[in-house]
Chains A and B, each alone.
Chain A
């Protein structure tokens, strides 16, 4: 009767994936998917995806709309749990733990994997309260002031708002709001930042600021960014994954390779703008 963060049925293949340690990245992958599929009722959103996302790098996910790139992103921190009809199969591990394991709490998971959304969505509270939100819900009560200040500085917003921390976050401009959302996400010091087209609702200047910020953040965080803007992916990411229609991961490689010498013709067609 009560839908307590219902856990979709998962065939636990975590044991096997855990030992296939990646050798190319020095620290091992932060996120690793193996045969990951997602269906909404009868519709397939992701089709058997295998991917290893390296630690402390920027991974871009590109593809035409409806290709399942957002679905994949939302699988990582189990935001898909909120949709009753979504069924996930396969394995997806975060630092070696299958996140769809019975014992994993999606709430705890999301505290380690922060998320920034397409449209800036600050809470209708003060700037300070927005950044302190994650700390407060985790019951952290020490040094909130210092942590809020640090997060705002890291998000390159502190200079602009330092004397109006008590003002409503809704009074900020769109770009500032999005940086506030990033500050809010990093205030709790997560391991991974998921970004779902974070700059698509912003003007070019705000977009440039966000891109600079993302590049800086990758020194400390693993960043996975979904974007429909290929130039953006080429500019900022270390690795790029291309999803094409039907939720299929067609190609995943270093960004340079993808954009200069893709293996598949379909990927080349997509990147050169022949479709999508």
Chain B
């Protein structure tokens, strides 16, 4: 009896146990508080920035009611409706992805091509893109062995060299054509070709050909219409080819293949419809919106150091986009090559094995070098050794490219490691050579992961400032760059330069708005990375 009573006492919760329980709860709460500390602080600081950039208190109540009625309510209602039904939800996500992605691509393409001059771009594309592809098709027809990858690279490099060498001769010839023809060559033709290739895989050959041809036809029709009305069709060529056609294809496909989720593809249209209704009513009734700083002027005009109401960051945005693009072109192939060597080629033993270990250690240490030191490297390499002029796009992109190289290599290595070895064995067992195995089996599996890693690295580089200050990139520029050899500035540098400006219109207005633009660019790139990764995950399931 006594023993039983004793057991009962020790197993039940006594006051000491209750104290311990309180202690444990407290400890967990402290840990959670610490976890949330940084996140909450950042949210508060972002709140400050958003408050300054948008100035929500300057809008009237009616404006908010209208905003909620036309935009927030319908979109929320639709999202809630879609969330319950998996098919609708996936179609909704897909449609939003298509609209958002196509919009981003369209705008950045138009902005960049417009800055660089469409004639120059079409010239490069003609010799560096179309010519090699045609050559490749010919080689593929005639030659037996499909070792054509090298041909296309050599032809592209050669083509670009020809375009560069004969620039003075070729440029006037290309310049004869109307501007919309250049845009047609830059955007419409690749889109139509892409549609054709995509369609051959998804539908039948005939449908694919018909789709591609009708895409070309529609664009030409709109061009004719615009010319008839006396409007410059350039912008509309880009919008139609890079936005309307891809979105129509995606939504059309959802409509045909996915009857259960069909309704979900209406999601973006609810948003766009609400937006246009909102704008129409706002203008009609003359309702005052918030008097914020994130305006069309900010996005489309160039910098003004004194007058905040006419200051814009268009050249900085273009500079950031162009720099990131060049950086990607430089860092992606080299980073992938490095990762391929380490994962697929490097032996594990002997002298070359030691070399590979050295490389691996070296790369992990490079990732830890402060970014400001890369600025010094860029200074020594591009300005002192290669003699580039100060502050051009190429040296900025090159410097940041070196900075992200280790990140690209490491993420590409992870992507390669995630390809199961059984696939390599299967390919080797079929008598594929090492390169064939990589090209036909390993790379197609690993590329999405590599792209994700590279986009994330680029997203990090787009906010990087210190190395650019060190290589003396101009902090303020009044025109966007018109080539990789022209000088440019980027968004974060403009934010840095504004630190000493005490005018409240800048300090609590333009600069937060510019910071919002930078954060949106970052967000877009991260979303792109997530989209690429999710597509990859779904495929490998």
Contact = CB atoms under 8 A, between A and B. Distances in A.
Q: Do chains A and B touch in the complex (CB under 8 A)?
A: yes
Interface of A: 1-3, 5-6, 77, 79, 82, 84-85, 107-112, 114-115, 117, 119, 121-124, 133-134, 136-139, 141, 181, 184-185, 188
B48 interface: no
A139 B426 contact: no
Contact of A3 (B347, B429, B431, B540): B347
21 contacts: A2-B352, A79-B425, A79-B429, A110-B430, A111-B430, A112-B431, A114-B430, A117-B429, A121-B422, A121-B425, A121-B426, A122-B426, A123-B427, A124-B423, A124-B444, A133-B427, A137-B433, A137-B440, A141-B144, A184-B426, A184-B430
A107 B432 CA distance: 6
Interface in B333-366: 345-353, 355
A188 B434 CA distance: 18
Nearest to B422: A121
B428 interface: yes
Closest 6 interchain pairs by CB? A111-B431, A115-B429, A110-B431, A121-B422, A3-B347, A121-B426
Interface string B430-458: 11111010001100110000000000000
Contacts of A138: 431
A137 B430 contact: yes
B429 A114 contact: yes
B145 interface: yes
Contacts of A114: 429-430
Contacts of A134: 430-431
B397 to A, nearest CB: 30
Contacts of B441: 123
Nearest to A168: B539
A130 B101 CA distance: 32
Contacts of B349: 84-85
Given A137-B436, A139-B145, A119 B430 contact: no
B146 interface: yes
A133 B146 contact: no
Contact of B430 (A5, A141, A188): A188
Contacts of B352: 1-3
B146 A188 contact: no
A111 B436 CA distance: 13
Interface string B405-430: 00000000000000010110111111
Interface residues of B, number: 33
Given A107-B433, A108-B431, 10 more contacts: A84-B347, A84-B350, A85-B348, A107-B432, A111-B431, A114-B430, A117-B425, A121-B420, A124-B445, A185-B430
A5 B434 contact: yes
Contacts of A124: 423, 444-445, 539-540
Nearest to A110: B431
Nearest to B202: A166
B440 A133 contact: yes
A111 B427 CA distance: 11
Contacts of A115: 429-430
A110 B429 contact: yes
A39 to B, nearest CB: 14
Nearest to A107: B433
A2 B345 contact: yes
A1 B350 CA distance: 9
Interface string B144-170: 111000000000000000000000000
B430 A139 contact: no
A110 B428 contact: yes
Point out which of A112, A122, A124 has the most chain B C-beta atoms below 10 A from its C-beta.
A124
A185 B345 CA distance: 25
B426 to A, nearest CB: 4
Given A2-B352, A121-B423, A141-B144, A133 B430 contact: yes
A133 B539 CA distance: 20
Contacts of A181: 426
A122 to B, nearest CB: 8
Contacts of A119: 422
A160 B539 CA distance: 23
Contacts of B539: 124
A84 B431 contact: no
Contacts of A117: 422, 425-426, 429
Interface string B472-508: 0000000000000000000000000000000000000
Nearest to A105: B433
Contacts of A77: 429
A123 B144 contact: no
A82 B427 CA distance: 12
Contact of A123 (B146, B346, B423, B433): B423
Contacts of B146: 136-137, 139
A17 B434 CA distance: 31
Among A3, A111, A181, chain B packs the most CB atoms within 10 A around the CB of: A3
A111 B429 CA distance: 8
Nearest to A181: B426
A137 B427 CA distance: 10
Contact of B428 (A82, A85, A136, A184): A82
Given A114-B430, A188-B431, A1 B144 contact: no
Contacts of A123: 423, 426-427, 440-441
A181 B351 CA distance: 38
Interface string B212-225: 00000000000000
A188 B427 CA distance: 13
A138 B427 CA distance: 12
Contacts of B145: 139
